[in-house]
Amino acid sequence: MKKLILVFLIIFAGFIISCKEENLPHYPIDDNRVFIKVLDEQGVDLLDQTQAKSYKANVIKIFYEREGQLEEFYNGGLTNMRRNFRIDPPELDEKQHRMKLIIESEVKVIQWNELEADTLYSEIDYDEKYNKMSVRKVYHQGELKHSNIPALSRREFTIIKQRQ
């Protein structure tokens, strides 16, 4: 019985020690992603995979800048985000699909097809203590689309495409 009590005390002490506040990370878990809706000028959802004129998920490519060069992101080992994005269906109260895009570099190029691409510029903070990055701002065509200030902190924005 004494050994059982000793085991419980050791487990309890380990639990208390491991839960010190200074050991907890001080960042949101999903602090490096944004959600993008893509519409044409008439408001048609260009991420709706059932529409003929939509951007197809299997054609979209993501490039990031590393040491001044653009590199395509592809990781076949990932199950649902092999190209660092996925297209989510509309939320219950929404009508448009959203692209969940992971931002891990200051320059990110979304190649929608062979003819169309958009470039996102980001400001990223690096937390060396936790080896974690946090996206502070995202720009598209020179316009601030996301900022971690409260007024723009939803991490969602819309890109309007001009198509023929």
pLDDT for the residue 161: 95
pLDDT for the residue 164: 66
pLDDT for the residue 41: 95
pLDDT for the residue 17: 59
4 residue type, one letter? L
Q: Please tell me the distance from the alpha carbon of residue 124 to that of residue 122, in angstroms, as a whole number.
A: 6
90-137 pLDDT per residue, tens: 988 889 999 999 988 899 999 999 999 999 999 998 888 877 888 889
pLDDT for the residue 45: 97
User: Per-residue confidence at 27, pLDDT binned at 50, 70, 90?
Assistant: very low
pLDDT for the residue 23: 45
pLDDT for the residue 150: 67
Is residue 138 within 8 Å of residue 122, measured between CB atoms? Answer: yes
Is residue 99 within 8 Å of residue 35, measured between CB atoms? Answer: yes
Predicted TM-score of the model (pTM): 0.76
Is residue 98 within 8 Å of residue 87, measured between CB atoms? Answer: yes
37-93 pLDDT per residue, tens: 999 999 999 999 999 999 999 999 999 998 889 999 888 887 778 888 999 999 888
18 pLDDT higher than 60: no
Task: Report residue 118 as tokens.
Answer: 């958009």
The continuous run of DSSP H or E covering 18 comes out as helix 2-18
Is residue 62 within 8 Å of residue 110, measured between CB atoms? Answer: yes
